[in-house]
Chains A and B, each alone.
Chain A
Amino acid sequence: NAGVMQNPRHLVRRRGQEARLRCSPMKGHSHVYWYRQLPEEGLKFMVYLQKENIIDESGMPKERFSAEFPKEGPSILRIQQVVRGDSAAYFCASSLRVMKGDLSGNTIYFGEGSWLTVV
């Protein structure tokens, strides 16, 4: 899937534990997005980050969820004190740039996903 790397692919956590999902964007991409797909649902936007900045977190649950994209290293989506309802597929995506009038930069490429199961 166009070079966006996610790990782990599958993660099992007990209720109350922490889940940490990692994403390395495509080479040259500085914009990272996290989406979540619950069973039988479409993909829902969670958060949009650039290096060291959270640009839009309007889709993030208010509690227990956080995301970062440090200057060095992958983007991390962290879920604290997981509950059964957090079980879902979490997809990371990246894009080249966001420039008004340059719509080709708006194409977002997805990773393979991380499947979180909370038991």
Chain B
Amino acid sequence: AQKVTQAQTEISVVEKEDVTLDCVYETRDTTYYLFWYKQPPSGELVFLIRRNSFDEQNEISGRYSWNFQKSTSSFNFTITASQVVDSAVYFCALSATDSWGKLQFGAGTQVVVTP
């Protein structure tokens, strides 16, 4: 069975501060995919990034960066120099090959960025 834990319920920061969101996952599969989705106050779910279990190369995309570490089963997400528009709920999700295509979501982390 798969499990995704986002221990941080809410994080509040002041604009321009960095914020890191933690995600810890559990799976017995050796091949799996990890995702981050963003849900802004308008409610839609926006896909941000996907990583497969064979690719531990960390990535930076603009102000976003991701740190994938198989040894600790973590897939953390950092927003650098946060902006008010980053205020949203962020979900980490897992899809393992034995549950092809089905996503197991974490409970989400609310990020509040104040001016």
A and B associate: no
- Which residues on A are within 8 Å of B, measured CB to CB? none
